[in-house]
């Protein structure tokens, strides 16, 4: 208990700043606001839903390109300046979407630039610092950090709909951009930092030295576990990403009013927080793939519920909760498994590569779901495919095996492995 308390006492400000950075960065805001913007923008410009939601793919392509670079720079130079700069650029570029013209090409370009400039404000930077500060309670600390995505998912759909209804969709983009610029950025400037060798940990070593242990990216890609994670992430993130971003228009198709649909979608965020904390707590105590298996099977049931065209409020909330619970566990799992199976020596590069796949899947999913809807007039076919993907992705993680152990590289100064 004393060791656990000491870690949180030492690093709570970094944890708080990281959670806000995740909450109002480039990871949750675009994906949780896309649904509310779908109908007003497509109705004004005459675009199809799949055509509109393809914008998130261009955003994701940019993030996928920049995140591995950001991870490598963070490993070499530290994450503070990168996190602050890209968080500010993300806020400004998201605000610029208020100026979107009727040209779909320009619209895609603006989303691409938002991802390119703001991609470093994704969890790859914030979790890099948290992993360095926490050792005994790394799973729980990561869960608290990534709670930010749940916080955003809980209130942003309803907030976006309220802004759109009262001020129009253009001012809604500007209003949402204040979350990173006016809230997360000032807190990060004040509190976000990495540990140095003067920051003693609870066992007499330093968090910075713990961060040296692990394998290189080249060694990681030769390990089958790296590719198991890639395939699992691709399958599960595609299903979750498409379901969450299309939940509001899907519920509206079922007869729910826009604001009511946004409020139900907010249940995703609340359950993300519960799923994340529970997953983090359990992963510190039990084998992480075994913990994740039942959690990642829950959205398959949600897909079956959402196929009911006579969907009631209670069933809709239950489906949202199941999807959110799994989303919370999955995002935490990627960061946790990257650290446990490959170490922290090249964590930025390795997690950056894994997160790039996560981002790609999250980006391809919304237009994929939208295209199926445009072609068939229903989400049913893609919901069935998503349910199957959840099952396969969850089962693959059971092949990961035991956690390896790492020792930091021996330095010329005589520093060896931590005892």
- How large is the greatest C-alpha to C-alpha distance in the chain, in angstroms? 69
Report the 10 Å Cβ neighbour count for 197. Answer: 11
Report the 10 Å Cβ neighbour count for 392. Answer: 12
The candidate with the shortest Cα–Cα distance to 52, out of 370, 411, 373, is 370
DSSP 343: B
Helices (H) and strands (E) in the chain, counts: 19, 0
- 147 alpha carbon, distance to own chain's centre: 10
Q: How many CA atoms lie within 13 A of 175 on its CB side?
A: 17
406 Rama sector, left if φ>0, alpha if ψ -120 to 50, beta otherwise: beta
> Cα(125)–Cα(75) distance, rounded to whole angstroms?
10
Report the 10 Å Cβ neighbour count for 207. Answer: 25
Q: Coil, strand or helix: which one is 102?
A: coil
> Cα(344)–Cα(172) distance, rounded to whole angstroms?
39
The candidate with the shortest Cα–Cα distance to 355, out of 234, 271, 216, 180, is 234
Domains and CATH numbers, the chain: 7-194+206-399 (1.20.1250.20)
Given a contact cutoff of 8 angstroms between Cβ atoms, the answer to whether 29 and 36 are in contact is no
User: From first to last of its 419 residues, what are the pLDDT tens digits of the chain?
Assistant: 455 567 777 888 889 999 999 999 988 899 888 888 988 999 999 988 878 888 988 998 898 888 878 877 877 777 888 899 999 999 999 999 999 999 999 999 999 999 999 988 988 888 888 877 877 777 788 878 877 777 887 788 889 989 999 999 999 999 999 999 999 999 999 999 877 644 444 444 444 444 457 788 888 889 999 999 999 989 998 998 888 888 888 898 888 887 888 888 878 877 877 887 888 788 888 888 888 888 888 899 999 999 888 888 899 999 999 988 888 777 678 878 888 888 877 877 887 788 778 878 877 888 888 888 888 888 889 999 999 999 999 899 999 988 887 765 554 444 433 33
- C-alpha R_g of the chain: 21
- 305 alpha carbon, distance to own chain's centre: 24
Residue 294 tokens, joined: 């039942």
């Amino acid at each position: 208990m004393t060791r656990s308390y000491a870690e949180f006492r030492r690093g709570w400000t970094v944890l708080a700043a990281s959670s806000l950075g995740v909450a109002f960065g480039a990871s949750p805001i675009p994906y949780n606001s896309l649904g509310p913007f779908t109908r007003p923008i497509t109705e004004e410009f005459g675009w199809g839903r799949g055509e509109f939601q393809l914008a998130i793919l261009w955003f994701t392509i940019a993030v996928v390109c920049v995140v591995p670079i950001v991870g490598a720079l963070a490993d070499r130079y530290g994450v503070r300046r990168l996190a602050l700069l890209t968080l500010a650029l993300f806020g400004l570029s998201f605000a610029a979407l208020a100026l979107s013209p009727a040209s779909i090409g320009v619209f895609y370009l603006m989303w691409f630039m938002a991802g390119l400039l703001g991609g470093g404000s994704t969890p790859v930077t914030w979790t890099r610092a948290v992993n360095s500060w926490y050792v005994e309670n790394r799973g729980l600390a990561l869960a608290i950090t990534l709670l930010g995505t749940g916080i955003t998912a809980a209130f942003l759909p309803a907030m976006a709909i309220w802004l759109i209804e009262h001020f129009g969709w253009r001012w809604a983009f500007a209003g949402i951009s204040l979350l990173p610029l006016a809230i997360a950025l000032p807190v990060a400037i004040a509190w976000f930092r990495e540990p140095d060798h003067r920051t003693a940990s609870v066992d007499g070593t330093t968090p910075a030295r713990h961060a040296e242990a692990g394998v290189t990216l080249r060694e990681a890609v030769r390990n089958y576990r790296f590719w198991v994670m890639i395939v699992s992430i691709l399958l599960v993130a595609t299903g979750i990403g498409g379901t969450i971003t299309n939940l509001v228009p899907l519920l509206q198709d079922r007869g729910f009013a826009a604001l009511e649909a946004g409020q139900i979608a907010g249940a995703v965020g609340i359950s993300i927080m519960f799923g994340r904390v529970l997953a983090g707590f359990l992963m510190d105590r039990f084998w992480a793939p075994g913990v994740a298996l039942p959690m990642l099977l829950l959205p398959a049931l949600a897909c079956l519920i959402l196929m009911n065209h006579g969907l009631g409020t209670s069933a809709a909330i239950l489906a949202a909760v199941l999807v959110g619970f799994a989303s919370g566990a999955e995002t935490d799992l990627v960061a946790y498994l990257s650290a446990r199976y490959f170490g922290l020596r090249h964590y930025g590069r390795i997690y950056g590569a894994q997160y790039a796949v996560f981002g790609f899947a999250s980006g391809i999913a919304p237009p994929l779901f939208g295209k199926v809807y445009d072609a068939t007039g229903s989400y049913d076919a893609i919901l069935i495919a998503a349910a199957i993907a959840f099952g396969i992705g969850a089962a693959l993680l059971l092949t990961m095996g035991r956690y390896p152990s790492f020792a930091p590289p021996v330095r010329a100064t005589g520093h060896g492995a931590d005892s």
